[in-house]
Structure formats: structure tokens, C-alpha cells
Amino acid sequence: MGLLGGFFVLLLLASPVLGQLPSQDILALLAFKKGITHDPSGYITDSWNDESIDFNGCPASWNGIVCNGASVAGVVLDGHGISGVADISVFANLTMLVKLSMANNNISGSLPSNVGSPKSLKFMDISNNQFSGPIPEGIGNLRSLQNLSLAGNNFSGPLPDSIDGLMSLQSLDVSGNSLSGPLPAGLKGLKSLVALNLSRNAFTKGIPAGLGLLVNLQSLDLSWNQLDGGVDWKFLIESAVAHVDFSGNLLTSTAPKELKFLADISETVLYLNLSNNKLTGSLIDGVELSTFGRLKVLDLSNNQLSGDLPGFNYVYDLEVLRLANNAFTGFVPSGLLKGDSLVLSELDLSANNLTGIYPLKNCSFSPPVPFS
């Protein structure tokens, strides 16, 4: 074979590789890199270059890039102190992308209208950055998404109604943003949801009905919003949830004796925080409220509750009880004490009008009054 024939053989062998370079995946990643303004460890800037591309066309040697054959399947950039303006729209070209994670950086930008384009995406975490703007309706097109965290950014506006399109979603966390407006009714359609955290925003109106339909839900956090109306006792009685936090809202009591429902709370509920609301009424409804399900933590502090406390004689699972800053009267229930020790690991009855109490370890009373 002559020199010319050898050249053609070499060209034929090289052409598949040359045909894949640069692939649309690589172009998308290089476009994202252009927005990086500060990369203290050089995690992206020193690694992402077109001279270190694998022969199959996927840059597996680039930091934070996971390949599946010739396609990019994962972009993982968490916690590297990276700053810049991210063009998230470029990831729409990563047709096989499964995981996008760049949490705990200082990246800004917004979510584009085509955010729902990567149909294979199962995990998206851009939490604790500086992203802002609205959450676009297109997010509901991520039908395969199982985990979505937008927490700790500056997103504003409503949670879009299209959220009900995320039928595979197991965890949704948009806490610590500036989201507002009523919670979308479509939340109750996310039947795969296990954890829902909408805390530390400015959501208004009431707790949406139908959350009990989320049969897989284990943790619900709606704390520190501006939700009004009543507590969803139907949800607390019928659901299989374990952790519920409605604290720091504007919830009120819709009936004088509604706290009697605490006796009927689902046995799956282990943590219930209703503190820092506007709840009124008593914990006693004619007869003593003898049980609190299987609650381990009950926080009713900073409300407007009053009256005597129940006996707590048959409360075997409770470990933490916080009733501070209410208007309870009478004596400390004997069921909370065993000699001069606490039955619970933590008890806070401070800033009430209780009598016959004195300081104990892991216990807060005010004012301290010796037993007679």
C-alpha cells in the first residue's frame, strides 16, 4: 500500500472520531463555562477544554462530568465556590442528562423557558446559589424528575400550576426563596412525593386541601410563610406523614375546642410543630386530653392558648413538649414529672401563668415558684 493509500486508511479510521468533535454536548458545556467568572480551585476552568476529550466524544476526563457512552449523563459541580452567570438553557442540548447538580456555589442566573427540555433528567439541585426570577411553567415538563431542589436562592413569583406535571417527583424543596401567592392545588396530584419543603417563603392563603392524597408523603414543611386559615386536622388524622411543620404562619383556630383533635392524630405523626401562629383555645375539652397519638415532639409555643394543661398520664412516646409563650394556667401536670425529674427529655412551659413549678434539668419555667 502506497503512502497515499495509507493516508486514506488513517483518514477512514479517524473520521468517526472527527465526526463527533465537537459534539453538541461538548459545545453546551463549553458555553456554560463561558459564564464562569471565578473558579478558585480551577475545577472547571482548568479541566474543561477541547484538548482533553475522550475518543468517544464525551469528556469523561473533565471534572464533574459523568458520561454514558458518547453522551453526558451527569454534571456535578457542588461546593466548589464557583461564581458566574449560568446559562442553564444550554443544558437543553444534553439529551441524555440524568443529573444536574451545582449546589452550594455562588452562581446566578435564571431558569429558562426550556428548563423542561432534558426529558431524561431525574435529579436537579441548584440550591444555595444566587439564582433569581420566576420558576417557569416549563418546569412541569420534566416528567422523569425525581428530586428537585431550588432552595436557598432568590426565586420569586408563584409556584407554577404546571408543577402537577412532575408525576415522578419524590422530593421537592423550594425553601428559602421569595416565592409568593397561593399554593397550587396541583400539589395534591404529586402522588410519588415523599418530602415537600416550601418553608421560608411568602406563600399566602390557606393550606391546600387534599394533601392527604399524598399517600407516600413522610415530611411536610410549610413553616415561615404567610398561610392563614385553619390547621388541616383532616390531613393530620388521616395521612401517613411522620414530620409536619406549620410553624411561623398566620393559622388560627376555627373552633373553640378544635385542639381536641390532637387526641386523634395519626399514629404515624412523630413531629408536629404549630408554633408561632395564632391558635386559641384549650388542650382540655371537658375531660382531659389523655393521648397525643405517638408524637415524639409537639411544639405549640408562641400562640394564644389558655386554660389548664391536661394530665399527660398516658403519654408514653412524647419526648419534647414546647408550650412556651401562651396563657396556660394551673399546675404543672404530675404526668410530666417523676419525683424531681422530668419524664421528657425537653419541656418548655416558660412565659405562661403556671404555678407550683421550679427549675428542672432540660426544662424551662417562668417564673420559678417552689412547690408548696
Is residue 84 pLDDT above 90, yes or no? yes
Give me the pLDDT at residue 4, please: 41
The span from the CA of 318 to the CA of 176, in Å, is 30
Hey, where are the domains in the chain?
19-102, 110-227, 270-372
Distance (Å) of CA 271 to CA 186, 239, 249, 317:
25, 13, 17, 11
Of 108-117, 134-143, 219-228, 360-369, the one with minimum mean pLDDT is 360-369
* Same CATH fold assignment for domains 19-102 and 110-227: yes
Give me the pLDDT at residue 221, please: 98
Task: Considering only residues 264 and 175, tell me which one the structure prediction assigns the higher pLDDT.
Answer: 175
Burial, 166: exposed, middle or buried (Cβ in 10 Å; 0-12, 13-18, 19+)? Answer: buried
Give me the pLDDT at residue 94, please: 93
pLDDT tier, 54 (very low <50, low <70, confident <90, very high otherwise): low
Phi-psi region of 356 (alpha: psi -120 to 50; beta: other; left: phi over 0): left
Using DSSP, state whether 355 is helix, strand or coil.
strand
Q: What is the mean pLDDT of the chain?
A: 87
Burial, 349: exposed, middle or buried (Cβ in 10 Å; 0-12, 13-18, 19+)? Answer: buried
Of 242-256, 284-298, 356-370, the one with minimum mean pLDDT is 356-370
* Amino acid at position 115, single letter: V
- Say if residues 261 and 237 touch (Cβ distance below 8 Å): yes
Give me the pLDDT at residue 18, please: 46
CA trace torsion 111, 113, 116, 121 (10° rounding) = -30
Give me the pLDDT at residue 285, please: 60
Joined together, the cell numbers standing for residue 360 give 428542672
Task: Considering only residues 232 and 290, tell me which one the structure prediction assigns the higher pLDDT.
Answer: 232
Is residue 17 pLDDT above 50, yes or no? no
How many other CB atoms sit within 10 Å of the CB of residue 198?
A: 23
- Say if residues 231 and 279 touch (Cβ distance below 8 Å): yes
Of 184, 176, 123, nearest to 148 by C-alpha is 123
Work out the percent of the chain whose per-residue pLDDT is above 70.
Answer: 85
pTM, entire model: 0.89
State mean pLDDT over 30-36: 95
pLDDT, tens digit (0-9, with 9 covering 90-100), for 114-130: 999 999 999 999 999 99
pLDDT, tens digit (0-9, with 9 covering 90-100), for 269-305: 999 999 999 999 988 765 555 578 889 999 999 999 9
State mean pLDDT over 221-238: 95
The span from the CA of 117 to the CA of 144, in Å, is 11
Is residue 1 pLDDT above 50, yes or no? no
Is residue 172 pLDDT above 50, yes or no? yes
Is residue 368 pLDDT above 60, yes or no? no
State mean pLDDT over 13-25: 56
Superfamily (CATH) of domain 19-102: Ribonuclease Inhibitor (3.80.10.10)
The span from the CA of 171 to the CA of 196, in Å, is 6
Is residue 11 pLDDT above 70, yes or no? no
Distance (Å) of CA 288 to CA 30, 57, 66, 181, 323:
67, 71, 60, 40, 17
State mean pLDDT over 40-58: 82
Give the total residue count for the chain: 372
How many other CB atoms sit within 10 Å of the CB of residue 113?
A: 13
Joined together, the cell numbers standing for residue 204 give 399566602
Give me the pLDDT at residue 286, please: 54
271-297 residues labelled b (16+ CB within 10 A) or e (exposed): bbbbbbbebbbbbbbeebbebbbbbbb
Is residue 15 pLDDT above 50, yes or no? no
Give me the pLDDT at residue 56, please: 65
Of 270, 262, 203, nearest to 231 by C-alpha is 262
Is residue 193 pLDDT above 90, yes or no? yes
Strands 71-76 and 65-68: antiparallel
**The architecture CATH gives domain 110-227:** Alpha-Beta Horseshoe (3.80)
Q: What is the DSSP string of 255-266?
A: STTGGGGGGG--
pLDDT, tens digit (0-9, with 9 covering 90-100), for 250-266: 999 988 778 878 888 99
The span from the CA of 229 to the CA of 250, in Å, is 7
Of 304, 337, 306, 307, nearest to 321 by C-alpha is 337
- Say if residues 39 and 48 touch (Cβ distance below 8 Å): no
User: Is the Cα torsion angle 325, 331, 334, 340 positive or negative in sign?
Assistant: positive
- Say if residues 358 and 371 touch (Cβ distance below 8 Å): yes
State mean pLDDT over 14-29: 66
Work out the percent of the chain whose per-residue pLDDT is above 90.
Answer: 68
